[in-house]
């Protein structure tokens, strides 16, 4: 792949990321808006990426939900900037308790 094409793809990727990071800051959409599905399809769990709030994944959540799947969001991770313990810690909530179900 030519260098100019790679740079163009890189720039488009960063423009996308910046656009949706900014939109995530101003969005007031709630994760519970996606819990119900319109059919018997399996639910999808969205886990925010590192330094990305769940609202960064809104385009994906909307698309999957529009296809009829319930979408559950682990919104409690926030920007997901905490380190992960190597051993299970009793004081940390379990993944299932962090999934938005209401």
How many C-beta neighbours within 10 Å does residue 37 have?
A: 17
Residue scoring higher pLDDT (43 or 102) = 43
Percent of residues, the chain, with pLDDT higher than 90: 27
Q: Is pLDDT at 15 greater than 90 in this prediction?
A: yes
**For 21-67, how does the pLDDT look when each residue is reduced to its tens digit (9 = 90+)?**
898 888 888 888 888 888 788 999 888 877 788 888 899 999 999 99
Neighbours of 23 (CB within 10 A): 14
pLDDT tier at 96 (50, 70, 90 boundaries)?
A: low
3-state helix, strand, coil in the chain (%, to 5): 45, 5, 45
pLDDT of residue 68: 92
């Amino acid at each position: 792949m030519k260098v100019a094409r790679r740079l163009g793809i890189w720039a488009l990727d960063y423009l996308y990321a910046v656009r949706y990071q900014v939109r995530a800051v101003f969005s007031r959409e709630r994760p519970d808006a996606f819990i119900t599905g319109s059919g018997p399809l399996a639910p999808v769990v969205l886990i925010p990426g590192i330094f990305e709030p769940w609202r960064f994944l809104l385009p994906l959540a909307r698309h999957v939900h529009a296809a009829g799947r319930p979408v559950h969001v682990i919104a409690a991770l926030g920007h997901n900037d905490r380190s992960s313990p190597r051993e299970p810690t009793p004081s940390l909530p379990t993944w299932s308790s962090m999934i938005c179900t209401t």
